[in-house]
Structure 1
Amino acid sequence: MDQQLRILIADDHPLFSEAIADQIASVVEGAHCICVETLDAALDELKSNDVGVLVLDWDMPGMNGIASVRHIRKQFPNVSMVILSGFINNIEIREAHAAGVQGFVPKSMSGKAIVSAISVVMNGGTYRPARDEQASEPVAGRNRPTAPARDHPDLTAREREILQHLASGMTNKEIARQLGLQEVTIKMHTSRIFDKLNVRNRVQAVSLAIAEGLVPLNE
């Protein structure tokens, strides 16, 4: 794969998939999103392009639940997979996870929260709803139960506050306005946050913070 990360979004509601693609493009440097509306079109794109992440609607033309997931995984073992759904029961979630799906994202979440969950998978983690359900309080991480946000020993109170604002999708200018600080001050704090978390950008910082329970993932 080249430096450009190709993200394939397969959903039969183009306004929804295009909105998610726009949000991904605005926060993920180097991301190129491709939107399709059927499973066949998704398979064609997977065959033609080096896709890094597949975001797949569970209920769309051509989809046959876990059978389709297994077919995709067999043909394309290296692509990361995220399932979008209005509802998947816990048996289907467990079967899909066993088949190699890394993420399960309820469509009821906000666009920013969906992108945050997808970014967890992009950075090597897993995302699944709490208690294997489409719960109102989803949890991000590596298959562990819901936990309250915890502190990072090296982060100051101000840095934890800014990290929470980053996780909510706010820009540096918006955070500065919210906290009554200069934008350059926010940039300085975010740089220190990146150093302390050993990450390179805000997407990685938010992904790590969510995966490690440093901040709650708001819907």
Structure 2
Amino acid sequence: MIDVLLADDQALVRDGFRALIDREPDLRVVAEAVDGVEAIAQARRHRPAVVLMDIRMPNIDGLTATARVLALPDPPRVLVLTTFDRDDWVYEALRAGASGFLLKDVRGHQLTDAIRTVAAGEALLAPSVTRRLIEQFVSRAPQRPPAALPELTERERDVLRLLAGGLSNAEIARSLVIGHSTVKTHVNRLLTKLGLRDRAQAVVYAYESGFVRPGG
């Protein structure tokens, strides 16, 4: 069973999400929060597997709450939801440690599938979100010398480059002509070697380290 915490200041939104989630046999809502302060407290109390976090909330916004929730011992995965397709918010959510980003106009099955995806340790971005947002904001930072990442094997570096380009495991497998399970193994190994939590962190790391260049 995947326990979910809903954090949104609109009761109607929370009710809608709860109705969608609770009808799934493997998902359940264990708590709700109306602002970032309550989201942090409820995450600490209930220890959910996934937090659905709205960005625009009173007292403490969703980005700040995400960072604080992920600083808790054995933190949950955070799936950020918003009505606004703002590149800067998406990037800051990823930097804060969110595992996924979705717009609130997604279909019900897309939302429940997203919860399962991030609970399983994968990263998820809305279909409208591509590597342009990473490139746009990383390009504003001072350019670093390209990172060689000698701790990674050549194949792991290949996988990281494709991962940074927004490719799924299946697409990486086709590109490198290897099996899907082999891709998962490479991804898990590079995450461990680089001390990263998930694919979302790996994408940000690939650009910020200089391993992948904006526009490259």
TM-score bucket of the superposed structures, by smaller chain: 0.5 to 0.7
Q: Residue 39 in 1 paired to residue 33 in 2?
A: no
Equivalence for 1:84 = 81
Give CA-to-partner distance per residue, 1:66-105, whole Å, 9 cap, x none: 3333222223552100101011522332232122100101
Distance 1:131-1:21 versus aligned 2 partners, 3 A rule = same
Equivalence for 1:153 = none
2:17 to 20, 27, 51: 20
2:97 to 84, 97, 100: 100
- How many Å separate the matches in 2 of 1:66 and 1:38? 11
Equivalence for 1:67 = 64
- How many Å separate the matches in 2 of 1:87 and 1:75? 27
Equivalence for 2:2 = 5
Q: Aligned residues, how many?
A: 140
Matches within 5 A, 1:1-219: 4-29=1-26, 31-64=28-61, 66-76=63-73, 78-129=75-126, 130-131=129-130, 144-145=165-166
> AA paired with 1:112?
H
Give CA-to-partner distance per residue, 1:101-126, whole Å, 9 cap, x none: 00101012122322222221122211
The secondary structure found in structure 2 opposite 1:75 is coil
Contact 2:36 2:61 (8 Å CA) reproduced: no
> Structure 2: where are the runs of 5+ without partners?
134-162, 172-216
- How many Å separate the matches in 1 of 2:61 and 2:73? 17
Aligned Cα root-mean-square deviation (Å): 2.9
Question: TM-score, normalised on structure 2?
Answer: 0.55
- How many Å separate the matches in 2 of 1:22 and 1:103? 21
Identity of aligned residues (%): 19
- How many Å separate the matches in 2 of 1:106 and 1:85? 5
Q: CA deviation at 1:133?
A: 7.8
Over 6 Å off, 4+ runs: none
- How many Å separate the matches in 2 of 1:104 and 1:133? 15
> Structure 1: where are the runs of 5+ without partners?
135-141, 151-219
